[in-house]
A and B are shown apart, each in its own frame.
Chain A
Amino acid sequence: MSFFPYAVAAWLFVIGLYGIVTSRNFVHLVICLAVLQSSTYVLLLSIGYRVGGTAPVFAGVRVGTPAVDPVVQALMLTDIVVEATVVALLLALALQLHKRANTLDPDKLKALEG
Chain B
Amino acid sequence: MKRRGRMIFFLLSAAVFAGVYLWGLKGLPAVGHYRGPYGDVLNQVATYERHVTDIVTAVNFDYRGFDTLGEEFILFMSVVGGTVLLRRQREEEKSEHKDQALSDESPERQAPEPSDATRVLTLGLVGPLVVFGLYIVAHGQLTPGGGFQGGVILATAPLLVYLAGDLKKFKQITSHTLVEVAEAAGAGAYLAIGFAGLILGGAYLRNVAALGKTGMINSGGTIALINLATGLEVAAGFVLLLYAFLEQTLEIRLRGGK
Q: Which residues of A contact B (CB under 8 A)?
A: 2-6, 10, 13-14, 17-18, 21-22, 46-51, 53, 55-59, 63-64, 67-74, 77-78, 80-82, 84-86, 88-89, 91-93, 95-96, 99, 102, 107
**CA of A73 to CA of B215 in the docked complex: distance in angstroms?**
21
The residue of chain A having its C-beta at the shortest distance from the C-beta of B92 within the complex is A99
The residue of chain B having its C-beta at the shortest distance from the C-beta of A1 within the complex is B31
Contacts A14-B14, A14-B17, A69-B34; is A89 near B56 (CB within 8 Å)?
Answer: no
Report whether A17 and B215 are in contact in the complex, using a CB–CB cutoff of 8 Å. Answer: no
Q: Which of A14, A55, A72, A78 contacts B144 (CB 8 A)?
A: A55
Report whether B32 and A74 are in contact in the complex, using a CB–CB cutoff of 8 Å. Answer: no
**CA of A105 to CA of B174 in the docked complex: distance in angstroms?**
35
List, in ascending order, chain A residues with CB within 8 A of B74's CB: 81-82, 85
A112 to chain B, nearest CB (A): 16
Report whether B43 and A63 are in contact in the complex, using a CB–CB cutoff of 8 Å. Answer: yes
List, in ascending order, chain A residues with CB within 8 A of B75's CB: 81, 84-85
Main secondary structure of the interface of A (DSSP, over half): helix
Report whether A2 and B143 are in contact in the complex, using a CB–CB cutoff of 8 Å. Answer: no
A41 to chain B, nearest CB (A): 14
Q: Which residues of B contact A (CB under 8 A)?
A: 2-3, 6-7, 9-10, 13-14, 17-18, 21, 25, 28-34, 36, 38-40, 42-44, 46-48, 53-56, 58-60, 64, 67-68, 71, 74-75, 78-79, 81-82, 85-86, 142-144, 148, 215, 241, 244-245, 248, 252, 258
Most A CB contacts (10 A, CB to CB) among B3, B29, B47, B78 go to B78
Contacts A10-B21, A81-B71; is A70 near B55 (CB within 8 Å)?
Answer: yes
17 A-B contacts (beta carbon < 8 Å): A10-B21, A14-B14, A17-B13, A17-B14, A50-B32, A53-B34, A57-B56, A63-B43, A70-B56, A71-B39, A74-B60, A78-B67, A88-B241, A89-B81, A92-B82, A92-B244, A107-B2
A95 to chain B, nearest CB (A): 6
Contacts A47-B34, A81-B71, A89-B81; is A13 near B28 (CB within 8 Å)?
Answer: no
B50 to chain A, nearest CB (A): 12
Most A CB contacts (10 A, CB to CB) among B7, B47, B55, B252 go to B55
